[in-house]
Amino acid sequence: MNEENDKTKVLKSLEMGGKMKEIYRDQFEVHGYSPKSLGCGKGRQNLRFKALSCFVEPKSSVLDFGCGFGDLFSFLNKKKIMVQYEGCDVMDIFLNVAKERHAKAEFFKIEMGGNLPTEKYDNIICSGVFNFKYVEDDVKHQEEVYSTIEKLFIACKRVLSIDFQTPFVDFNAPNSHYQDIDSLINFVVQKLSRRFSIDHSYMPYEYCVHIFKDSLIKRPDNVYKT
């Protein structure tokens, strides 16, 4: 029975994200070590990192989920925000580069549809993770997105920060996911936390959400604890 379950997980992993991985491989062959290989053009990556990392504190533990080349680690170091950093990704070619460039950081591989990290991190950051469709069916992709977010929130102690492509775009690119904001808010409130923030100000075609683990209300003031 366990062997059959393992086979099912492997098949699911191979099926899920196949097109996404193909796109990443093709982009890496063209651009090599570059934000363009990750689907993020020149100049935009640091804007994204700045928005996503605004709640990261020095000496905290950070999981960079979908770390690519580990550039977030370099960004935090340049900002002199020294953290206990770990990065994970599904792409071996990205992880190989990350390990070569960042000897002091920890990196590990994850599988599509497989188990997610269970260790508790202060902050978990997902940069560009949900921009490509895992499967062609929109409903199935959305289900997988929300399922992944739920699991990551369990492994997070302080703040889970995620960016998405906004639905308010001039055109829809093929194989891309544009996250409906109303649907996302309803999911977050019902499944995760009533305490969250959304930033739609740092770039025109994407936004990020920060979901706070501590949502206890201070009574009788009816405010969140700071």
Q: pLDDT for 163-221, tens place per residue?
A: 999 999 988 888 899 999 999 999 999 999 999 999 999 999 999 999 999 888 888 88
> Contact, 213 vs 158, CB < 8 A?
yes
Helix (H) or strand (E) holding 86: strand 84-89
CB atoms within 10 A of CB 119: 8
Report the chain's mean pLDDT, rounded to a whole number: 89
Angle ∠(157,159,162) on CA atoms, nearest 5: 130
Position 42 confidence tier, pLDDT thresholds 50, 70, 90: low
Residue ranges per structural domain of the chain: 2-224
pLDDT value for 13: 42
Q: What span, in angstroms and rounded, lies between the C-alpha atoms of 206 and 204?
A: 6
Is the predicted pLDDT of residue 39 greater than 50, yes or no?
yes
CATH code matching the domain that covers 2-224, chosen among 3.40.630.30, 3.40.50.620, 3.40.50.150, 3.60.15.10: 3.40.50.150
Give the lowest-confidence range in 13-27, 47-61, 199-213: 13-27
The position carrying tokens 């062997």 is 3
Q: What are the residues whose beta carbons fall under 8 Å from the beta carbon of 200, sequence distance 6 or more?
A: 166, 207
pLDDT value for 11: 36
Share of the chain above pLDDT 90, in %: 68
**Tokens read off for 82:** 């020294």
Q: What span, in angstroms and rounded, lies between the C-alpha atoms of 113 and 11?
A: 9
Tens digits of per-residue pLDDT, 114-155?
778 888 999 999 999 999 888 888 999 999 999 999 999 999
Q: What are the residues whose beta carbons fall under 8 Å from the beta carbon of 39, sequence distance 6 or more?
A: 23, 24, 27, 128, 131, 132
pTM: 0.90
Alpha helix (H) residue ranges in 32-179: 44-52, 71-78, 92-101, 138-154
**Tokens read off for 144:** 């997988």
- 85 φψ region: left (φ > 0), alpha (ψ -120 to 50), beta (else): beta
Which residue(s) pair with 106 in the sheet? 86
Position 18 confidence tier, pLDDT thresholds 50, 70, 90: confident
Radius of gyration of the chain (CA): 17
Q: What is the mean pLDDT of residues 19-38?
A: 90
Is the predicted pLDDT of residue 47 greater than 80, yes or no?
yes
